[in-house]
Chain A
């Protein structure tokens, strides 16, 4: 049993060390936001719009206000009069200078633009008093025609925001040679032309969002506890939105129950809690209900993709042209407009594609805003190219593995710094081996034989095998690159490392975990760097008072930016300690070696001092080298010179019951390359979870809206998050192509599973249905949709 091997306890970089985080979490000791209470706290009850697009004619709060336990009821107009904020909720990524960005206030005043938008807030003494009271706030709406779909938005007959005469928010393109792309497509032997729909998804972190703002009325300070992935970003944005002094604001993300992008926004509830607690001098809180989340937390995906993929007669790619119509929802939230751009650079996948053209148009609809959801733009891109590659393989008449091999960058051989046609440099790659290994691991040859047997015998349960060879872009991000994309922040990460007087080590992390195991991985990095036990390391994070600088956790950036900052800060500590050791040895620092945690003079091994002992010398400062500051503490802000580009090959195996249309995912094999791994146990866990999230998009999940733009499946009764029963065991393996972007050679793995799996699963579904002549199926491939697809294909064929 691998988990009791010595290596699992040893704890340096590369060890399958068991997580330090677990003890608190398996015993209930960890505190999530809803577990924390403050004396005198008031509960917010959120009165949300029940219509998608309307003028607010009147709000009657009198019934609610007189209910027991209700302190007050405030409408949007009343809140606006209170001047609790100085700016609308922020959008940090105005992708073009002329992007339309309708003001998004925490609470609507005269118009509502999506179901779930706030129209009034109840303040009450308990969560139940607040919940009861919101039922008694009577809002009169004058409905306007809603824009319920992207297609309606594009028709531009009705408008999601009446003050704008078009629903289009922006047009953004990378199109270095449009004529060349056009010529390549016109001259191609094969052109696949496809339309894919990336349905809207509800992120569903199992912990709902929540906030608690605690004022100190005398000191003017406010502490905001939030279920956030981004405490540092939130602090800046809350200050900018409320006008409260940033230095008076402390943001704490305590234990956070998953994020997946859904907790990286700046939300009305966060602004309200801070502003109201400051004004009232009482703690103010709120916890989302699951069904409420469909209107109170952003959603993911929501794109229509048009792809033209051109090749020569042998299937060698010559061009790809992509047009995206992206559903922004009703407002631009923090990163809404930029999400499709995060995928834009990757539409050629892992394939050498001479001509490349990408255009995205963003459209407003009267639905919940979209924003980042695990993978954010990259699962969409990988889905489009990987589905199109399968279609091309059928066109050319070769295997889905062979079409990929023929097109891999550098022929599937290792490379460094490959210039992609969208203007990025892929740090490193070696694509051939992940495909070979995945085919072997899944025994695709054996599966193909079984598939053939079932086809010939007319079995009810047909087999499908799907491949996906993805590349992703992570390690967000070089600050200059972000500046070039009009993004309103940098992409660095900050770390502090200090050796305490007793020799123990404290690490302060700017990146902020919510399940990823930072405390364990950062301890492993320090253990290897300093030659000490990971048990001697404590990691501080997720509290702006303890960790004032940081840019938090999203975009698979924690390790390749934040972890690298920690390694670099450790190196600086070691260099300072070396000088102290040299001083004690009366030797030159250049002559002092550092091995396994101990400094010694080359050739005189008898003289040695352990780095942990030097903590005390630096603390007392009785005898430091001339001019040296006391204490052993160093910090680093690391701004990565490039992104990192992990990759891999996934194989999905499905069984389809052709009578019922039911699809069962019976096997999943993932061979991923995220460069050097700090903790393979954690890497595998990230892959497992990511794969299931992508498979869920392929087979089960969709946020369903009716013609009036009401969401009809906001609860977990009918929004189908898969359970263990629907999922197979996932078999993982990896190859290792170190990144050239950072000194640890690490890439990032938080989103890889999701980026690979939706395409692999749908490729498998289509593969199973091939004998019917099926070439595509929309996600999610529900039983009803599979049956209908088979019937249409059979009808069409007869």
Chain B
């Protein structure tokens, strides 16, 4: 029961998914409801919170600001696929750092926060504390007060606080 459905193919975490979606479907709903990758969360309706952040061709994108159809042809990485993009066999270094620095409490903002952080230090490898704080401005956390998130990101950036 999909009105005016369109067929799309999305590449997510290295796997290809053929979907039938309404043209208006946002990427975040395609990921969550159609593909079942529920690690990407939704925290707002104004592109303000960043809970829905994913990587599109390696750059962080709020997946509530993009239509699923616009993501065709791109490689999307969600939190479920992040660990596999790193060398080790466990967590991605950013996931590990969030754990070791207690950078999460309820964990709802965490997938988006981690992916935004991965993209941030990839783009600006030389960040200091204020750079990390500015760079994560689009991701809200209500639990941690950001203290330990910032420390975790700085550690991965090689700038231990």
Contact = CB atoms under 8 A, between A and B. Distances in A.
Interface string A257-294: 11010000000000000000000000000000111000
Interface in A5-44: 18-19, 21-32, 34-35
B106 A26 contact: no
A32 B46 CA distance: 21
Given A18-B102, A25-B110, A258-B143, A724 B46 contact: no
Contacts of A69: 1
12 contacts: A3-B101, A25-B110, A35-B32, A257-B109, A258-B106, A291-B46, A684-B102, A692-B145, A717-B48, A721-B142, A724-B150, A730-B147
Nearest to B132: A724
A449 B67 CA distance: 55
Given A69-B1, A126-B1, A724-B137, A258 B142 contact: yes
Nearest to B51: A206
A128 B146 contact: no
Interface string B124-151: 0000010011101111111111111110
A688 B145 CA distance: 5
Interface of A: 1, 3-4, 18-19, 21-32, 34-35, 68-69, 125-128, 204-208, 255-258, 260, 289-291, 514-517, 681-682, 684-685, 687-693, 715-717, 721, 723-725, 727, 729-730, 753
Interface in B41-59: 41-46, 48-49, 51
Contacts of B106: 25, 205-207, 255-258, 514-515
A690 B143 CA distance: 8
| For the complex of A and B, 6 pairs with smallest distance between CB atoms | A28-B39, A257-B108, A25-B107, A515-B106, A688-B145, A35-B38
A691 B146 CA distance: 11
Given A19-B99, A255-B107, A688 B144 contact: yes
Contact of A22 (B78, B98, B108): B98
Given A205-B108, A289-B45, A685-B105, 8 more contacts: A29-B39, A206-B142, A206-B143, A258-B108, A290-B43, A517-B105, A685-B145, A724-B150
Contacts of B98: 22, 26
B12 interface: no
Greatest chain B CB density within 10 A among A128, A717, A724, A753 is at: A724
B145 A725 contact: no
Contacts of A3: 100-101
B48 to A, nearest CB: 4
- Interface size grouping (class) on chain B: 35 or more
B49 A206 contact: yes
Contact of A727 (B3, B32, B39, B145): B145
B95 interface: yes
A208 B43 contact: yes
Given A204-B142, A517-B105, A682-B102, A27 B39 contact: yes
Nearest to A520: B102
Contacts of B104: 22, 25-26
Nearest to B104: A25
Given A3-B100, A28-B79, A721-B142, A515 B105 contact: yes
Contacts of B141: 206, 724
Contacts of B32: 34-35
A295 to B, nearest CB: 14
A515 B107 contact: yes
Contacts of A28: 37-40, 78-80, 111
Interface of B: 1, 3, 22, 32-33, 37-46, 48-49, 51, 78-80, 82-83, 91, 95, 98-102, 104-111, 114, 129, 132-134, 136-150, 160-161
B44 A30 contact: no
B1 A30 contact: no
Contact of B145 (A4, A291, A691): A691
A614 to B, nearest CB: 34
Contacts of B111: 26, 28
A682 B82 CA distance: 26
Given A26-B98, A27-B95, A716 B80 contact: no
A263 B38 CA distance: 21
B105 A689 contact: yes
B150 A290 contact: no
Greatest chain A CB density within 10 A among B42, B106, B141, B149 is at: B106
B104 to A, nearest CB: 6
Given A689-B145, A721-B140, A257 B48 contact: no
Given A23-B99, A27-B91, A28-B38, A729 B150 contact: yes
A339 to B, nearest CB: 20
Contacts of B78: 28
A255 B107 CA distance: 9
A539 B46 CA distance: 37
A681 B109 contact: no
Contacts of A23: 91, 99
Contacts of B132: 724
A3 B148 CA distance: 12
Nearest to A257: B108
A727 B48 contact: no
A125 B138 CA distance: 33
